Amino acid sequence: MVYYRDGGLIIRTMESGDAIRLSAAETAQGWHPTEEKHKTRLSDMAEGKCTALCAEVGGEPVGYISVYFNPTGGPFAGDGRCELVDFGVLEKCRRRGIGSKLMDTAEKIAGEYWDNHHKDAASRRGVWLGVGLHPGYGAAQRLYVKRGYIPDGSGAWYDDKIAEQYKTYPLDDSLIIYMEKDL
């Protein structure tokens, strides 16, 4: 399904061939991707757990994000809001608005999900996400703040658990904070 098309940019649902192509492009720029993470998103989408999005430019996948409808982990699990998971744009394609369009589309899907499934719910209409704390996530951290996301106040998390005060954790992809935004 195509969600957005303008000029050479297309935002669409992820397809099976995207996993290999995205992983190869990420490896070429020095990231440590796994084809499996994209295949997991595709499998979860087939099971109705999420919508996995892909940004395409010139016939090549250059970015991705997934919208999870009923997340089972994190600080807002079970409150009815969607979680945005695994957002990335290839470095060579950054600063062109691709990430913003992916986020716009993901937030729209999350809002529509809320409107269709939680009309009488007591919690807020919004969305949330986790973001890494090491410098590799600096661009994403800035983008989220500019888009109105704020830290949720639960502090740092490591491997899906709140990090214990005064304990030492590696500065890797598992050390994150959660942020939320009202839609």
**Average per-residue pLDDT for the chain:** 89
User: Would you state the pLDDT for residue 123?
Assistant: 62
The string of DSSP letters for 82-114 reads: EEEEEEEE-GGG-SSSHHHHHHHHHHHHHHHHH
pLDDT tens across 121-150, in order? 556 778 999 999 999 889 889 999 999 999
User: Would you state the pLDDT for residue 183?
Assistant: 87
For residue 173 the two structure tokens come to 């992809």
Q: Which residue has the tokens 């529509």?
A: 112
Say yes or no to pLDDT of 83 above 90: yes
Contacts of 154 (CB under 8 A, 6+ apart): 75, 162, 177, 178
pTM (two decimals): 0.90
pLDDT tens across 150-176, in order? 999 999 999 989 999 999 999 999 999
Distances (CA, A) of 173 to 45, 132, 152, 159, 161: 23, 6, 19, 9, 14
